A = this chain, B = another copy of it.
């Protein structure tokens, strides 16, 4: 199923008048404050977030999974789903594949399909946290960190194979989430694990094409519950430094201990030129993988505030790879992603409204009250008309969720695919 701009324009009609009123009101107000509104809208329109292929079906927990209807059963169908998202939101212009779940059979056809949907292949993801049927070695006791040379070799080669697949699709970066760790004190040797992981990453890094980047995730726990080899940003950064200039730390919002100040980590990494990518989601307890902005929208804004600061002031840091990494257990996955994309755009818009010069002055004057006012003034502004305007400027839906429902996309997908398909990898 593909949505056309005409379809969307037709649906947009009924809301345009309201939008004009909202937008003009806000425009007036922001211009009066000296905000460069056009620049904000351009940045919003340019902001593209990759959709991971595994987020297009219903997710679950260790206690089970309630499946959704009309899930994509093939890579092509996954691309179609992202195509729908991108047509509606104009901010989902990339897809992030996961190997071995998404190995193409016909590369040219896959590239062509993505192209026709306006989608790029963003960072590609390897998987060494599960055993594949018929694999020579098990990852039960580690993959890139494994003491057993066979398992480690297999994990390294898998990553190289992933790079090769990505290369043929036009991707230019590899994301490594290493689930390796332990459930019990003493189970493995911390130092040996770290050294072996470093060696494995260096081997992978050495084999990367010259124009590729390596993103290294960190996570304090789950699926291991005593220790994780790459438990925090400090470890990830250490490993990235040991690899080289094109290795970076990747921050996933859910991969932190309770109460971690994530925005400070972002600021530090950008200062060091070592923030490579970002996985968006939201959570209250652990790596809950909920809809972006559904639980802690102010934290998301504060993180974007540092990202915007870094994008302006840290030329040493590369362009970032943005991705949503969420699990859709009780919502239509596509609706969930639409809500996530909206929340991201809103937080970004709010952060773009922060008057950084004035903030710097208030900071210098130790005017703590004023500093807070500046951030909260931006945050309390209803920026949705700006996000809508950016979307309209690219031919997207005024209100993507409304359009999605109006166009009965899910029903259409069920008609096309049947009720009981299961997304590969789920």
Contacts and interface: CB of A to CB of B under 8 A. Distances in A.
Interface of A: 21-22, 25, 28-29, 59-64, 66, 129-131, 138-141, 147-148, 179, 183-191, 194-195, 220-223, 225-227, 231-235, 237-238, 257-261, 263-264, 267-268, 270-272, 283-286, 288, 290-291, 293-299, 302, 305-306, 309, 313-314, 327, 329-332, 335-336, 339, 346, 359-360, 363-364, 366, 368-369, 371-376, 379-382, 384, 401
A179 B22 contact: no
Nearest to A236: B234
A223 B61 contact: yes
B183 A329 contact: yes
Contacts of A264: 190, 227, 231
Nearest to A191: B271
Contacts of A283: 225
Given A129-B64, A185-B375, A284-B259, A194 B268 contact: yes
Given A194-B268, A368-B330, A371-B184, A138 B66 contact: yes
Given A190-B267, A268-B190, A185 B225 contact: no
A61 B130 CA distance: 11
B66 A371 contact: no
A184 B25 CA distance: 31
Contacts of A305: 185-186
Nearest to A335: B369
Central interface residue in A235, A335, A371, A372, by most chain B CB within 10 Å: A372
Contact of A257 (B66, B235, B257, B288): B257
Contacts of A291: 184, 372
18 contacts: A21-B25, A61-B62, A64-B131, A140-B366, A183-B330, A184-B330, A184-B371, A185-B375, A186-B372, A189-B360, A189-B363, A222-B285, A222-B286, A257-B258, A285-B286, A330-B368, A332-B369, A373-B401
Nearest to A267: B190
Contact of A259 (B185, B191, B220, B267): B220
A63 B179 contact: yes
A157 to B, nearest CB: 20
A313 B192 CA distance: 11
Central interface residue in A131, A183, A270, A336, by most chain B CB within 10 Å: A183
Contacts of A285: 220-222, 225, 259, 286
Contact of A234 (B237, B372, B379): B237
A263 B295 CA distance: 13
Contacts of A226: 261, 284, 290, 295
B227 A140 contact: no
B130 A63 contact: yes
